Homo-oligomer: A and B are copies of this chain.
């Protein structure tokens, strides 16, 4: 049982809340039972699980080969990014990034809010979409984003630091999700797989990104409202595409 918040394993793990340490080590934190469960179910073996007590989930981690370490509430408080944490916090290696596949894809083009990034990962996994994030997007492997995605990071292919042109080069048909129709056509039925471009919360897609798109999609809605939340708009468009009927 580790009781000291100055224990070196605890100090090193807590540093993974900072982007710089995640980059240097290639590791991140899985916080709470949902994220840990999602990782274990996808065959990810965390390096360490810090937990208040042993339970079904820590037993599964232990059997998979993870080092399960019991810690005090003070240590868990230091490790977790949330207030009054109860669930385990695990250290895991960020999966090696694979190639962009020629499948339906959501492209996060500068999404900044970690909650929105995580929500889009969760919806992408639910609707069978690959996730590609541009360099301007918030770190997809940040603990906060993993929490918001509720353990679904490991259920879909994720590629970061790519451009929309990289996605097009993989054989994906680029479609810009826009708040108001700009006169361009919607994708045809044969325009598959689709690369759905979702822009920044405040600024939307850049002019360059819009120009790279071969069609646009708009979620029809009341004119009294300017726009939907970016994660909601992207999720509705993925749902509509998955149903075979672009919004």
Contact = CB atoms under 8 A, between A and B. Distances in A.
A227 B231 CA distance: 15
Copies of this chain: 2
A232 interface: yes
Nearest to A223: B126
Contacts of A152: 225
Contact of A123 (B115, B125, B228, B242): B228
Interface string A121-159: 011011110000000000000000000101010010000
Contact of A236 (B122, B150, B220, B235): B235
Interface residues of A, number: 30
Contact of A231 (B127, B232, B243): B232
A155 B224 contact: yes
Interface string A216-247: 00011110111111011001100100110001
Contacts of A127: 221-222
A82 to B, nearest CB: 12
A48 interface: no
Interface centre among A125, A226, A229 (most CB of B within 10 A): A229
A57 B125 CA distance: 41
A225 B242 CA distance: 15
Contacts of A148: 229
A119 interface: yes
Of all A-B residue pairs in the complex, the 5 with the closest CB atoms, nearest first, are A126-B221, A126-B225, A232-B235, A119-B229, A125-B225
Interface of A: 115, 119, 122-123, 125-128, 148, 150, 152, 155, 219-222, 224-229, 231-232, 235-236, 239, 242-243, 247
5 contacts: A122-B225, A123-B232, A128-B222, A229-B235, A231-B232
